[in-house]
Amino acid sequence: MSPLTVADLRKSYGKNIVVAGIDFSLKPGECFGLLGPNGAGKTTTLRCCLGLTQADSGTIRLAGEPIPQRAREARMKIGVVPQFDNLDPDFSAAENLLIYGKYFGLEKSAIKRKIPLLLEFAGLAGKENAPIRSLSGGMKRRLTLARALVNDPELLILDEPTTGLDPQARHLIWDRLKRLLSQGKTILLTTHFMDEAERLCHRLAIMDSGRLIAEGSPRDLIREQIEPQVVEIYGEDAPAWAKREAIDHSKRIEVSGETAFCYTNDATELLRLAANNSNLRTLHRLANLEDVFIKLTGRELRD
Amino acid sequence: MLLPKLSLRAFAIWQRNFLVWRKLAVPSLLGNLADPMIYLFGLGYGLGNLLPAQSALGGTTYLMFLASGTVCASTMNAASFEALYSAFSRMHVQKTWESIMNAPIALDDIVAGEMLWAASKATLSGCAILLIVALLGMIASPLALWALPVIFLTGLCFAALGLIVTALAPSYDFFMYYFTLVVTPMMMLCGVFFPTEQLPALVQTIAAELPLSHSIALARPLLLGKLPTDIFHHVFALIAIAALAFTIAINLARRRLLS
């Protein structure tokens, strides 16, 4: 049974269409990523899935339960890590886990047995009595992850789990998420970090303006959506040079500031030409998920 | 407007707030007591001794008259503070409600839990004052024990009213309007400090239907050892106001947090 199935989900606020009819379905044990720029509708989609926002139309089944009719029952079986930390500042780290377990109707003694394991998992052993405000951003996020595991959920829903964290803290979160996947848990996460998606997700869907515009494994998306090689050309006249000289040897060129991105199946000729011009610096690399994302969602800023 | 959908999970919210309160129970209770005690003894002795024949007070001393008013008014204040400032912190600032809604608890349960908690805390305040008044020998008979459910009902009523304001509030500053336009006028109009008969007839008529008036109409005779008149009218009014305010608060909270 799919841990989460969404069919033809729609949600508007007045004239603003936030989710414009999306379909996706999770397979047990996979990590599914919802990628999109800010304002793409990712968080609204998650809120609808949790039964916290009433969709205009569409059907959602979460953990076998119809949403929103049986959202409470569905939430019994899942864990949520929200985008912004909302740990309870009136309690210590261990008390946060205890009180959160009580919200699931769990027995105090059963939660207390679990707390050391959860803190250990979150790398917070010995921090039982630490007040929340004394924890770093990474520690808070890990405690939030531990909190989401208090009911031993089948499915974890994470909204931008590493936004605002430093690289060390992000790696630690990724490591823990991989561990959870190896334990057989299913993960749904939203992110706008391509490295995160490439590293963790078995499958992902790219969302923009309320629609899913591409879906597949990171590798398939790169293969299907984009030329395999990229030559990035830097320099003051790089954009002009690329449009003049590189155009015949590239399938596609994108310009951002003083950088030209030349997408091609074979970069040999392009690199040779660029080497002749001493004002240009080049970087030759394989196309990645970020290239796919930029191609599909455009280069302009989203706010 | 939709009716509230409630479950026993509301109790988990109550318990959460209780566990936080327990950490600071003694200072919190003392803080809740200090203010009403200052009024009670300051006005009770200071002003009370200036008053000549006290026929307007129904044959009691001003201190005893004021005691019942103070019990009700401080119950109102305690419930209002908890349902406004503290609940707003949890809803808006700390995002505690948001985290709870990711667990299998519905918003309706959270609002219900907050209302019960604010009413409980207010009951504790009201009872603490009642206890002091009793220890000072200002209570006429065991009939005063019936003031306990009146205090709880008063707490429920003002907790529900406060949660309406909380669901509408953009920031803490907003609460000042509620206190200056609703709570403080009730202190003056509902017979806390002086009999409402002193007010113009029209004001009396309106004031009689304010929740604090119903509360005092029940509590004052009980503390003086008499049976209140129109018991059912006052009890029903308090229950009706609480139920209506709670339903409005839930609908406003849904609009704010679940859209």
Q: Residue window 67-126, chain B: list those with CB within 8 Å of chain A.
A: 94-96, 98-106
Q: Which of B64, B87, B222 is nearest to B163 (CA)?
A: B87
> Which chain B residues are closer than 8 Å to A18 by Cβ?
none
> Which chain A residues are closer than 8 Å to B253 by Cβ?
none
DSSP reduced 3-state for A106: coil
**Which of B99, B105, B256 is the mutation pick for testing A, counting most A CBs within 10 A?**
B99
A100 and B12 within 8 Å at the Cβ level: the answer is: no
User: Is any Cβ of chain B less than 8 angstroms from the Cβ of A50?
Assistant: yes
Placement of tokens 């505690």 in the chain: B96
Cis peptide before A68 (omega within 30 of 0): yes
Nearest chain B alpha carbon to A153? B103
> Which chain B residues are closer than 8 Å to A88 by Cβ?
16, 94, 96, 99
Q: Which amino acid belongs to residue A34? A: L
**Which of B93, B96, B101 is the mutation pick for testing A, counting most A CBs within 10 A?**
B101
- The answer to whether residues A293 and A196 touch, using CB atoms and an 8 Å cutoff, is no
0.90 surpassed by complex ipTM: no
Q: Which of A86, A60, A160 is nearest to B102 (CA)?
A: A86
**Residue A253, beta-bridge partner list:** A262
> Which chain A residues are closer than 8 Å to B101 by Cβ?
50, 52
Whole-angstrom Cα distance, residue B1 to residue A299?
Answer: 45
Q: How many CA atoms lie within 13 A of B158 on its CB side?
A: 35
- The answer to whether residues A155 and A3 touch, using CB atoms and an 8 Å cutoff, is yes
Nearest chain A alpha carbon to B17? A90
Phi then psi for B70, rounded to 5 degrees?
A: -65, -40
DSSP reduced 3-state for B238: helix
Q: Which of B94, B105, B259 sits opposite A103 (nearest CB)?
A: B105
Burial class (CB in 10 A: 0-12, 13-18, 19+), B216: buried
Assign B54 a pLDDT band (cuts: 50, 70, 90): low
Q: What is the pLDDT of residue A303?
A: 58
* % pLDDT > 90, chain B: 77
Nearest chain B alpha carbon to A88? B96
User: Is any Cβ of chain A less than 8 angstroms from the Cβ of B201?
Assistant: no
- The answer to whether residues B70 and B38 touch, using CB atoms and an 8 Å cutoff, is no
Whole-angstrom Cα distance, residue B121 to residue B29?
Answer: 9
Q: Residue window 93-152, chain A: list those with CB within 8 Å of chain B.
A: 95, 99-100, 102-105, 148, 151
DSSP for A226-271 reads S-SEEEEEESTTHHHHHHHHGGGG-SEEEEETTEEEEEES--HHHH
Residue pLDDT, tens place only, B215-236 = 999 999 999 999 999 999 999 9
Q: In a structure prediction context, what are the per-residue pLDDT tens digits for chain A, which is 303 residues long?
A: 899 999 999 999 999 999 999 999 999 999 999 999 888 999 999 999 999 999 999 999 999 999 999 999 999 999 999 988 899 999 999 999 999 999 999 999 999 999 999 999 999 999 999 999 999 999 999 999 999 999 999 999 999 999 888 899 899 999 999 999 999 999 999 998 888 999 999 999 999 999 999 999 999 999 999 999 999 999 888 888 888 888 888 888 888 888 889 999 988 888 888 888 888 899 999 999 989 998 898 866 665
Q: Which of A53, A99, A148 sits opposite B19 (nearest CB)?
A: A99
Helix and strand counts by DSSP (H, E) for chain B = 12, 0
Sign of dihedral through CA atoms A214, A217, A220, A226?
positive
- In degrees, to the nearest 5, what angle opens at C-alpha B10 toward C-alphas B6 and B11? 140
**Which residues, 6+ apart, have CB-to-CB distance to A207 below 8 Å?**
A22, A34, A35, A36, A40, A41, A42, A45, A213
- pTM here is 0.91
Give B241 to chain A, closest Cα distance, Å.
29
